[in-house]
Each structure stands twice: as structure tokens, then as C-alpha cells.
Amino acid sequence: MFAHQLFRVPRFYRGLATHANHMPSQQLPAVLHLKTGQSFTGKSFGAPRSVFGETVFSTSITSYTESMTDPSYRGQILVFTTPLIGNYGVPRNTAPVNSQDVGVVLESESIQCAGVVVADVAERFSHYSAVESLASWCARSGVPGITGVDTRAITRLLRDQGTTLGRLAVGADSALPSPKSEEFWDPTTENLVAQVSTKTPYELNSTGDVKIAVLDFGAKANILRSLVRRGAAVTVLPWDYDFNTIRDRFDGLFLSNGPGDPNHCAPAAAHLRRTLAEWTKPVFGICMGHQVIGMAAGLDAYRMTFGNRGHNQPVLALASSGSIRAGRVYVTSQNHQYALRLQDPFPAGWEPFFINCNDSSVEGIKSTTESGRRVWGVQFHPESAGGPLDTIEMFTDFLAECRAMKLHLGSETNDVMGAKEEMPLLAREKPQRVAVAA
């Protein structure tokens, strides 16, 4: 009884939280400079170095570790609108490679964003799976952070003027004037997808009953996890791999998320255009994969003002397919700066699938029944991690279509392990990750 009452005293159980290391009492000064002329002064945490990047904001309330390891944030200075970040620490980022997992707990092996901006970084963290603090993780990963700034003001600026190039200046650099306009680095001028995509094909869950090829534009680990946990044998391919040379070995094709400008992925769209014209098996794309499908179908991709990043984006289903019902609003997790342009008429054989309830941007497309294809693309993340699971069954729908098609064709696909010279696979016990180190 005494112990029960004791643990109800807030001062006692807050004292059990772990102190964050790499948070010295005299933190280095830090300044966030925006190319549009505004500067925000605070204190640094994490790595004591300065970086350039594209300044974006996320409205996610939780899952800062998943956001920071999402390859779609490559080259970006990530502003969290939630005031307190780091309160539950960082887990050990290792998991088995088997039919239930893919080698990591988070979305890739390491932090992908260039820097982090928070109003108040937690100096204590508490969670049963935490092994280190946010500050320690950033310091070990070479990623700088700034705390003590008004993230509400920064978010309003980015919302009103659009995503803005920035520089996070730490230590002695913080006393220097803001860089000149031409000195800011724009990560979207580079092919970020090529930086984060796997360089060599590898396989997961080789005993799965349905074989899925994944074009890796910067795949979140939970996409691969969502496939293998539903019994798929997954072969992950580099972003520009010509799937047409091996397509008959697979029951379906999946196109992943990824960072940056989709126009850098024109070679992948060209390969996919041939696939869609000659191959009738199911195809599913998420985020960047959705945009590549749209480009292959004849749609244009454009840059949004500030994009959609967060776990609370409502989308309206315009058509029914599998578990999705037309007319229903689904709450989704998103992270993107680009979108497909809505046009009338839509390309022949295609129709809008989802539309964003806030800004009316295209959130999904699908092939029409008359086209004879089985293709779906969504701008949001059905697998979330973190976020709502309203649309998670889209993975089940996709694999059900792949199994039905396989049964209909009445023949097994060839074993990818029988063509090592054409498509070498990495050792299954330690596969190359889906993203390179930041």
C-alpha cells in the first residue's frame, strides 16, 4: 500500500527518468538562418557542427526517431512542431532478419535528416526500450540540433512562405553573419534517391509464398516489414534497376518512398512505362513510388508550397478497391514535398484514387477496371510508423491480388536465387540496409 502511494508522487517517479548525456551545462550557441532572411537563436545539442539543408516542418506528435531515420528526410533540417522532443529516448536499432523483421527497429540504420530543430529537447528520457538520449544519438551520428527556439514562429514562416533553404550554425559559426543567398545549398538539385537506395539487390524472407520485387527509392524499413510479415518473399532492387529484365520471376512489383525531386527518377519511370504496357501483374507504389507511377502514366509532378509532413493528414477515397471504400475519409501519415498534378481528363486507363481533404492535392491514383491492369499508387504511408493505421490493409489487398494472379496463371515464378550472376544477392543473415549513413 505504501509503495503504491509512493509511486503516485510525481516528484518520485519523475526522478527515475534517465539524465540525457551530451547535454553540458554550457551548451554551445546555435543559430538557424533561413534564406529568406530570418534567424533564430538558441542552444545546440548533438554534434557540434554546422550544416546546410532544406528547412521543413513536421506536425507529428510522436515517433521522432522514425521520422529522423526516414530516408525521405535526406538533406533536410527537420523542425518539430511538438514542443517537447526526446522524452522517451532512443531504442537500440537492431532487430532479427526473419519472417517478422528486417534487421532494424527504426526506418533505416541511421539518422537521415541533416539537422533537428526543437523548442525544448528533453534532458531526461524514460522508456523501457530506450538506451540513449536524443542528444547522445545525434552526437554519435554527427547530426546537429538546436533547442530553445520558437518552433511555432518558424512553422508559420514555412507555412506562409513555403519550404525554405536554411543553415544551422553551431559554436563559432553562430557568430558569423547569415550566409549570402547564393551560398545556401539546395539538396533537391542532387539525386537524393541515388544516395539512399541500396546499391546491390538483396533478399528477405526467401521462403515466402509470393515473390515481390521492391524498387528502393529510399524505402522505410516498415514497408519491407509489412510485406514480409504478410508472407511475401521480398527482393529489394536499386532504384534504377531495369525490372523488365527479371519481371517474370515475380508475382508483383512494389515501388517505395524516397527523398527529393521525382524528376530525378525519370529513368525508373521509363522502365516502369514499359512494365505497365507489357506486364499485367499487380503493381503498388507509395510516396515517391506513387509519383513514379504517375509519371509513367503521363501525369506531371510538381513542387508543393510546404508539402505535407505529419501523422494527421485526412484523405478522401474517390474509388473503392480492396479494403478501401469510396466516400470514406482516412487519416494518414505523410512526408512529401512533391505531388502529382490533378488534370481533367485523366490519362486513359487511370483514375484518381484519393484526394487530400485539406489542400485537394492528389493522394492516390489507380488503374481503371477497363485497362486490364492492377496498379495502385498512394501519396501517404499506409504502414505509418508512426501514425494511424487506417489504411494498413492496403498491403494485405496488394498481396491478395498477387496471390490471386499467381493462382490464375497456374505457374510458379522462377527462383531469383537461380540467377546469381545476373542479379547477385547479399548474405541473408546481414543484408545491406535500405539507406546509407547520413
What are the catalytic residues? 287, 381, 383
Handedness of CA 383, 385, 389, 390 (dihedral sign): negative
Strand partners, 313: 332
Cβ atoms of residues 72 and 111 within 8 Å: no
- CA distances (Å), origin 433, targets 8, 200, 260, 290, 390: 44, 10, 19, 22, 27
The three cell numbers locating residue 254? 512494389
Pairing of strands 283-286, 301-317: unpaired
Contact between 129 and 18 (Cβ < 8 Å)? no
For the four alpha carbons of 340, 344, 348 and 350, in that order, the dihedral sign comes to: positive
Q: How many CB atoms within 10 Å of residue 393?
A: 14
What amino acid occupies position 102?
V
Whole-angstrom Cα distance, residue 412 to residue 162?
Answer: 50
SS3 416: helix
| DSSP state, residue 178 | P
| 433/438 Cα distance (integer angstroms) | 13
DSSP state of 398: H
Torsion angle defined by CA atoms of residues 223, 228, 229 and 232, in that order, rounded to the nearest 10 degrees: 120
Q: Helix crossing, 288-297 with 266-278: angle to 10°?
A: 60
- Amino acid at site 147: T
Residue 94: CB atoms within 10 Å: 11
